[in-house]
């Protein structure tokens, strides 16, 4: 086996293993895995705030107004990160709600755009109409019930990662060494 094929095989194997593990964790423990992701977001906010604070405090080239705005923004980032750590359960629920609302709004917009384009299509308008209707109904459902929709999307993500990971592991073993 040449070096390129070996690297591709190794990459597929690592990707498959990571996808399988993350998919299994999300599927088995959806709340705990979402709490971990919320914690990572909190850590990222805090780290961004600290780095922005250091840059704003040290940078004397920018005007005082820019430095003050930079320091205020950095403090807001740090406070947001701390709030996430203080109440990780609420942050996790908020994560599900945000995912549900944004996905729902995206699907509603997609359905509206599809409905507006249907008249420009040729004679076959049935399938685009059905697709647009499904997008609209699914989007409205997610917007109306974002927590449960976000939780279902999180579970679906876990199942899909698990399936993709297993397929990649099979592909890894199928590539001849």
Joined tokens for residue 69: 């705005």
Output the pLDDT for position 159: 95
Neighbours of 20 (CB within 10 A): 19
User: Per-residue confidence at 125, pLDDT binned at 50, 70, 90?
Assistant: confident
Q: What is the mean pLDDT of residues 12-34?
A: 93
Instruction: Provide the whole-model pTM.
Output: 0.72
Report percent pLDDT > 90 for the chain.
Answer: 63
Q: What is the mean pLDDT of residues 149-158?
A: 90
Q: How many domains, in total, are found in the chain?
A: 1
Q: Which residues form the domain of 129?
A: 3-174
State pLDDT tens for residues 62-120.
778 888 898 999 999 999 999 999 999 999 999 889 989 999 999 999 999 988 888 77
Neighbours of 64 (CB within 10 A): 8
* Least reliable range by pLDDT among 43-47, 148-152, 162-166: 148-152
Per the CB < 8 A criterion, the answer to whether 31 and 16 are in contact is no
């Amino acid at each position: 086996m040449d070096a390129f094929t070996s690297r591709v095989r190794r990459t597929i194997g690592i990707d498959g293993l990571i996808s399988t593990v993350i998919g299994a964790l999300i599927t088995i423990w959806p709340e705990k895995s979402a709490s971990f992701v919320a914690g990572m977001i909190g850590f990222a906010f805090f780290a961004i705030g600290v780095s922005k604070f250091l840059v704003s405090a040290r940078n004397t080239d920018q005007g005082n107004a820019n430095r003050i705005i930079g320091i205020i923004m950095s403090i807001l980032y740090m406070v947001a990160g701390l709030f996430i750590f203080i109440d990780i359960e609420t942050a996790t629920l908020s994560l599900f709600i945000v995912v549900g609302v944004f996905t729902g709004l995206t699907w509603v917009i997609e359905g509206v755009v599809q409905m507006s384009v249907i008249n420009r299509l040729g004679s076959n308008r049935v399938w685009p109409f059905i697709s647009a209707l499904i997008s609209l109904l699914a989007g409205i459902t997610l917007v109306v019930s974002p927590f449960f929709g976000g939780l279902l999307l999180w579970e679906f993500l876990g199942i899909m990662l698990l399936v993709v990971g297993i397929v990649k592991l099979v592909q890894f073993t199928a590539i001849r060494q």
